[in-house]
Amino acid sequence: MEIEQLDIETEGHKSKILIGEQLTAFSKYIPGKNTAIVTDENIMRHYGSLFEGFPTIVLGTGEKNKTLTTIDFIMEKLVETGADRSWFLLGVGGGIVCDTTGFAGSVFMRGIPFGFVSTTLLSQVDASVGGKNGVNHRGYKNMIGTFNQPEFVICDHSLLKTLEKKEFLSGFAEIVKHGAIRSLAHFEYLEKNLSLALAANNEVIHKLVCDSVNIKAQVVRNDEREQGERRILNFGHTLGHSIEKITGVTHGEAISLGMILAAKLSVKKGYLHQAEEERLSSLLQRIGLPVQPHVDAHTLIDTMLKDKKRDGDNMHFVFLKGLGNAVSKKISITQLEKLIYDLY
């Protein structure tokens, strides 16, 4: 398979996304031996032998580890290793390892360069691209973080074979999101090729990753720091993050539920046809993602209001104006609360 290289240039910095490159080739992209690897227990078990000769920092798994305590642990290990400003940090893992490594790299000695090998479908299509790094704070998602681009991201599809099915399916939520917000063609490609995609057909996965990364890269190039257009990437995330916190489902499952709720609100606002919401729901169900949130309206709203996306008495909420066309609207919290209560 040919390697597809995509560049994201922001504020004079170029980040290379290498889709179809192999984990085994990572040493071609790092500056040399002064590299520390950050990974998690599962990746270490499957692929740890490839990291021989590099100091390796192994994290636990799950959102509970995406915290400042883990950042403190990484700092301690880097200091013990004797790392200084000339060092490079390589995160090998899913979204949690990438988000954490990017943040650690951004703050260690005021910032050292870092790169990722992305090992889950979700991180290949979304989490490792775009330069948002960070950790959760007291259970609230991504409250502390930076905007800082990795030097490179390797998306090796062959690593997906060891991923648990639930985690593999979780990645499809962000693929659906990219289609729903920006490209009906991407959405339709997934609808038409779903059986092959679910069977992890290499060509289909490669195209889905390339197209998803392209969509995200276009948005990020225009608005790296989320002052406007980039907000559309949060489609399904405002309520999805609350569902993730309340129920502990995977990130992709929570985003599936968040997208359904946001699509239903879009129908209520008169932006989206009911048939389009049903088409979105049907695709998510065919994938095996949940579409029925088992969370009461009061808890959902209460959790949402503590999220960092609040802006005084208003919030930016992403609606669909059709499949392939998202808009971010500033809406008063009172109106949003009423819309959500009306759904129940």
Ligand X SMILES: NC(=O)c1ccc[n+]([C@@H]2O[C@H](COP(=O)([O-])OP(=O)(O)OC[C@H]3O[C@@H](n4cnc5c(N)ncnc54)[C@H](O)[C@@H]3O)[C@@H](O)[C@H]2O)c1
Q: What is the contact surface with ligand X in residues (CB under 6 A)?
A: 40, 42-43, 46, 61, 63, 66, 93-97, 99, 119-120, 122-123, 126-127, 130, 132, 141-142, 159, 162-163, 167, 170, 251
DSSP annotation string for 192-221 = HTHHHHHTT-HHHHHHHHHHHHHHHHHHHH
Q: How far is the CB of 163 from ligand X (least distance, A)?
A: 4
* Of residues 23 and 301, the one with the C-beta less far from ligand X: 23
Q: Which residue is nearest to ligand X (CB)?
A: 95
Cα 187 off chain centre by: 18
* Of residues 90 and 272, the one with the C-beta less far from ligand X: 90
Q: How far is the CB of 137 from ligand X (least distance, A)?
A: 13
Q: How far is the CB of 270 from ligand X (least distance, A)?
A: 30
Which of these, 247, 262, 260, lies nearest to 289 by C-alpha position?
260
Please list the residues that pair with 153 across neighbouring strands: 17, 116
Q: How far is the CB of 269 from ligand X (least distance, A)?
A: 25
Quickly count: other Cβ atoms within 10 Å of residue 200's Cβ.
15
Q: How far is the CB of 339 from ligand X (least distance, A)?
A: 25
* Of residues 206 and 272, the one with the C-beta less far from ligand X: 206
The structure tokens listed for 196 are: 């092959």
168's CB contacts (< 8 A; 6+ apart) are 120, 121, 160, 200
* Of residues 86 and 158, the one with the C-beta less far from ligand X: 158
* Of residues 38 and 267, the one with the C-beta less far from ligand X: 38
* Of residues 45 and 338, the one with the C-beta less far from ligand X: 45
Q: How far is the CB of 167 from ligand X (least distance, A)?
A: 4
CA distance to 78, 136, 234, 236, per residue, from 326 (Å): 42, 27, 10, 11
CA atoms within 13 A on the CB side of 87: 25
